[in-house]
Chain A
């Protein structure tokens, strides 16, 4: 995993080199490549591309075959989708035009209080109560955070409030796609146990979360499972 930055092709080559090194495989042992995500068209070694909604649906189904709804929250997007029994995306809603519905909102809230992104998880784990944060706008959240700090609220509780605010937005998206059980959660934001706890408290459907690092790799894994399927089809037709 590497920060994408603005040279998307370089980032994709960097992860390719690293994973070859980690796996001990040679480049020519990779027979098929599928790229996905925001920069999928910039991957020089790709055979085909698929949308991140399709890849995340596949990855979610790999771990939890009963998945019918996916909620994916990353650093800059929030996506909810509903799947059919053939793992096709039937309905989706995105929140990709506003930082308030993404991980960037948590990062900004942390920064206003003097914390780094990697401190969010440990910080929120010490929260004792949920301080209301409107989450209407990531920029205006600064004054809200400063106000709460001046009232004596603990940074951990403010961060908890920011997560609750994010969950409220997520639930709006889930309702708009008419969520069905089971709901699988993916994306970097799902590394935070408090996010999972708040979502579980507010969503009646059964919730699944891929274990450990896989929560961030679900989309890449989904692309890989599609690549395997495609390669086997090509071989069968040859």
Chain B
């Protein structure tokens, strides 16, 4: 068996791959920063507000977020079939933004709505890391990617009937 030569990593930063590599780094870092930001500020915030009243509140907050994250991971295949592969990354951005904003602006630690929103934020924000490509492919017949949603493939203007 002939072993293929391993290309050095620097090949990724040479033309014609440079643009794609940098774009990939940018796109993949955004959900990481977003999820990090939520968990980075959510926990000390919960501790600051609720720490003196309930010492376990910070841990419960982290637990709700983790539970949401795990639930999202487990439901990825069903979500993949609902959303479709091509634009799931785009459609997740406003959802994640809205839920993170809601968590920080519309509710607060010790309010009844805080932990449910923390759960939902964990569910949505970590769906970016759900391994969409493999999940969507494995829910389709071998070698066949799932069909794109109808609104993506149907032309906005119907073709003229042949004369």
Partners in one complex: no
Task: State the B residues within 8 Å of A (CB).
Answer: none
